[in-house]
Amino acid sequence: MDFLQPVLDGFGVVLVPTNLLYCLLGVVIGMLIGVLPGLGPAATIAILLPLTYGIDPVTAIIMLAGIFYGAQYGGTITSVLLRLPGEASSVVTVFDGYQLAKQGKAGTALGIAAIGSFIGGTVGIIGLTFLAPVVAGFALDFGPPEYAALALLGILLVATISNGSKTKALIAAAFGLLLATVGRDVFTGAERFTFGNLSLADGIDFVPVAMGLFGLGEILYNLEERHRAAKAPAKVANAWPSRADLKQSSGAIGRGSVLGFFLGILPGGGATISSLAAYALEKKRSKHPERFGKGAVEGVAAPETANNAAATSSFIPLLTLGIPANATMALMFGALLIQGVTPGPQLVDQHPDLFWGVVNSMYIGNILLLIMSVPLVGVFVRILRVRAAILAPVTALITLLGAYTINNSMFDVVLVVFFGIVGYLMKKFGFEPGPLVLAFVLGELLEANLRRSLLVLNGDLGGMFGRPISATLLVVFVAVALWPAAKSLLARRQAPVVEPHKTKKVKENA
């Protein structure tokens, strides 16, 4: 009963008319952002961060959370109708969703996606409800050595598990760590990398970095990408899937829910990796894998379920450990800090209204998504016809105005423009901005706790191995760091050895 009381109180927080309104607003904005290719939830949250200053913390985070999980379904609409993923986690949905649309089953694909998204999201919320307090209770034993080890592991996992080149991800993470050191040293007061600029003495603020990399950077990059001719959207009919379709996809929805939930918790995991893994699992399990890519219902159900489950479960490490699992969670981390709330083990006890209000708002948000998903398809298809030449300048202007209103400072606007150019160049040359932002957020946590650990342990870092939790985390860190080399070595040993005389005979025969 002690556990249920704060959960019930959380529903009381959500059902306040203002919070319900912002929950609805967040979900609608999220769906809209998911529909617009390129402008994902990370960019949107970055742009809207200044607007959260004048809003109650609980209300602000409820809205931002709604944007995040709402975007997961919004990206499905363009994936199915236009073969154009509106969100990175919807890329896999293109394979079978668009083929179903070509067969006149666009409504079936969107209906299955809506049901899978609702079930996956609900499973994730139930898991979050029961698992998050347990993790928070466990994390109360964390001291500076444990947090230092956890931050170190988080940075490594994000850099090594992220999509694309691992080398580029590590370079981006290293740049993020360097940015985290700019400003006045908290322990000694010495200025670092300020180059005599007083505006940099207090360090680089998180909001201009996020708004530049994810907001302005994405806008500049997408202006290049969206010059292609628009495709005619497929017609939507039979918006509700048949009983046979539901039966065929039920296993994929169940497996996608579980897989997505656990992958979402991992640093660097998130919705994109979860959707890929769920699709691969269904294709491998299928008795007829050749159906995939040609209009298999399971090929839509599995990734759409997994990405929503992962979107929800990624809140667990953020709210309980203060460790963002992906780039969007790093922005949520920044939003909480702006509101004067520090995510971590104490959050459940110190801010139960915020913790349970946000968690329970997801139940309401998922129901709203299910109700609105199919009826709003026509509206979103019309929005797709808005030219990028009109949309991009308006979004860029809002971004720059938002940056100025943070501190009424032109220096923040200059920072946004600088990081916008950096973000554009990173995307242009294949560098993902996610590892940079995550390393920037975790860098301060790592440095502060590492130096506190040196004070606690009298300068002996080896003492971290004498503490069970920090020792375990460091062992995992070493294992993750050495795994690529070990994997390469195993592959070499297992490779067949061709004897020299056999090679010679093959050449002679040729």
DSSP states along 23-40: HHHHHHHHHHHHHSTT--
Residues 299 and 282: beta-carbon distance below 8 Å:
yes
At 275 the pLDDT is: 81
Tell me the pLDDT tens digit for each residue of 69-101: 887 777 777 677 766 665 666 767 877 887 888
Give the number of other CB atoms < 10 A from CB of residue 138.
Answer: 13
Cα-Cα-Cα-Cα torsion 370, 371, 372, 378, nearest 10 degrees, comes to 100
In angstroms, how far is the first alpha carbon of the chain from the final one?
Answer: 79
Tell me the pLDDT tens digit for each residue of 435-490: 887 788 778 878 888 888 888 888 787 888 888 888 888 888 888 788 777 777 88
Q: What is the mean pLDDT of residues 303-321?
A: 85
The CA distance from 256 to 486, in Å, is 30
For residue 191, the cross-strand partners are 184
Tokens standing for 215? 């907001």
Say which residue the tokens 């005979």 belong to. Answer: 505
What percent of the chain is modeled with pLDDT above 90? 3
Q: What is the mean pLDDT of residues 302-324?
A: 84
pLDDT above 70: residue 103: yes
Angle at 302 between CA 296 and CA 306, to 5 degrees: 160
The CA distance from 232 to 148, in Å, is 52
Tell me the pLDDT tens digit for each residue of 104-163: 787 788 888 888 888 988 888 888 888 888 877 776 677 788 878 877 877 776 666 555
The CA distance from 9 to 6, in Å, is 5
